Amino acid sequence: MTLRKYEYHGILFLLLFVICSVNPSNATAGEPTEEIRHTTDRIIAVVSDPALKSPENASERKKLIREAVDERFDWEEMSRRTLARNWVGRTDDEKKEFIDLFGKLLERTYLEKVEDYSGEKVSYIDEKIDGDYAIVKVNILTKNDREIPVFYRLKSKNDKWFVYDILIEGVSLINNYRSQFNSIITRSSYQGLIKKLRDSVEEK
C-alpha cells in the first residue's frame, strides 16, 4: 500500500524536477516567500562576511543586521498582539514607549540567534496567502542534522509584507510573550512590566 504511494511520489518528483530545470527562475514561489528570502539572504550575507567578523566591526555588523530586520518586522503589530487586552486603554505615549522597548527586546533576541549562525541551511517550503495575511514555511537544517520547522506570519501593508510573528517548532513567539506579560501584569502591574522590560533591554 505504501509502495504505491511512494511510486507515485517518485513520478511526481521526476516531473517536478523536469519542470524546475526547464524554468529555473521558478514562478511558483510567491511574493511573501520572496520577501522573506530577500531578508534572510541579506542577513546571512552579513553574518557570514569574514570582513565583518572581527570584534572592531561588531557594531557595524549589528547595524547592518538591524537594518535588514527593521525593514521586515512590524514592531507595532507585534506589540499590539502581545499586549492584547492590555493594549486597549493605553495612551499613545505608553504605546510608543512599549513598541520601542519591546522592539528592542525582540531585536536583541533575534540578533543573538543569528549571531550564532554557522552555515545552517534554510529551505523555503511553502506559503499560504489569505487576503492581507500570509504564512511562509521555512525549514532550518542545523549542523547536527536537526530539522527545525519555522513559520513566519506576515501581514501586508502598502503592498509590502511585514512579519508579525514567528513560530519555531510550533511555538509562537508572540503568544509566548503574551502569556509572560499577562503573568507579570497579574502578579504586579503594567508599570511593573515596563520596569522589567526596561531593565532587560538596558542590561546590555
List interacting residues with other proteins (CB under 8 A). 1-3, 6, 9-10, 12-14, 16-17, 20, 26, 28-29, 80-81, 84-85, 87-88, 105, 108-109, 112-113, 116, 123-131, 133-135, 137, 139, 143-147, 149, 151, 153, 164-165, 167, 169-172, 175-184, 193, 196-197, 200
Residue 98 Cβ vs other proteins, minimum distance, rounded to whole Å: 13
List of long-range contacts for 158-163, beta carbons under 8 Å, 24+ apart: 160/35, 161/31, 161/32, 161/35, 161/36, 161/134, 162/72, 162/73, 162/74, 162/77, 163/36, 163/72, 163/73, 163/74
> In this complex, which beta carbon is closest to other proteins, that of residue 191 or of residue 200?
200
> In this complex, which beta carbon is closest to other proteins, that of residue 73 or of residue 164?
164
**7's grid cell:** 511510486
> In this complex, which beta carbon is closest to other proteins, that of residue 63 or of residue 113?
113
> In this complex, which beta carbon is closest to other proteins, that of residue 72 or of residue 153?
153
Give burial (CB, 10 Å; 0-12/13-18/19+) of 50: exposed
